[in-house]
Amino acid sequence: MSEMDFNELEGVTRPKTQRGEVTFQKLLEAAEAVFGEKGYYETSIVDIIQRAGVAQGTFYLYFKTKKDIFRQLVVHLHHEVRKTIQEAVQGVANRLAAETTGLRAYHNFLLEHRNLYRLVRELEFVDEDLFKWYYQSFANNYARRLSQAMEKGDIRKMDPEALAYSLIGLNVFIGMRWPLWENRPAPTIAVETIVDFITRGLGTETK
């Protein structure tokens, strides 16, 4: 499944006028807020339209179903996360250094987009295929970068996919533990431990 497959979701009607565009954005933002706070299933369309300040019928001018708006949000998020991390990593020559830089960027992103983080996690129970696509696409990209680093000799040669999922899982749970649960960056000692753990785990030093 290509990374772009979900960009055009089932014939969504994009707004054609200026006014429509505004309404569309209002709805998306309202959805982000309320899905993030209450979760997909606990959120009703009324919650969204009230927050957006539009009438119920208006919702269906822009989105086919409740699931539709959720999917669009997730795809939007996905692009943002990737862009953020790639921008942070860009120009960092050494892969190991990039790893830790990306980790910090990711956690900062989380702190600013706590709602979106929740969306992705809940995606597993809303649209499992999209959920898989999300992480596969993420992991594939990650694995590719790891492979390149192996080629360059920055890190040991190992199974890049297994590493990618391991590192994603690690980050997700660290992101959950501090940014999400405590609404603050992971403490220094934790970051040092993780960086050290990853550095050694990936490094080329002989035993």
Partner DNA sequence: CATGAATGAGGCTTCATTCAT
Partner DNA sequence: GATGAATGAAGCCTCATTCAT
Closer to DNA by Cβ: residue 52 or 164: 52
Of the candidate spans 19-27, 89-97, 169-177, 198-206, the one that interacts with DNA by CB under 7 A turns out to be 19-27
Contact between 25 and DNA per CB under 7 A: no
Q: Which H or E run includes 201?
A: helix 188-202
CB atoms within 10 A of CB 59: 22
Contact between 66 and DNA per CB under 7 A: yes
| Sign of the dihedral defined by the CA atoms of residues 118, 121, 124, 127, in that order | positive
Of the candidate spans 57-65, 93-101, 102-110, 186-194, the one that interacts with DNA by CB under 7 A turns out to be 57-65
Instruction: State the nearest-atom distance from the C-beta of 91 to its own copies, in Å.
Output: 26
3-state helix, strand, coil in the chain (%, to 5): 75, 0, 25
Encoded tokens for 87: 């921008």
Contact between 60 and its own copies per CB under 8 A: no
Angle at 12 between CA 24 and CA 72, to 5 degrees: 65
Footprint of its own copies on this chain (CB under 8 A)?
39-42, 121-122, 124-125, 132, 135, 139, 156, 158-159, 161-163, 165-174, 176-177, 181, 186, 189-194, 196-198, 200-203, 205, 207
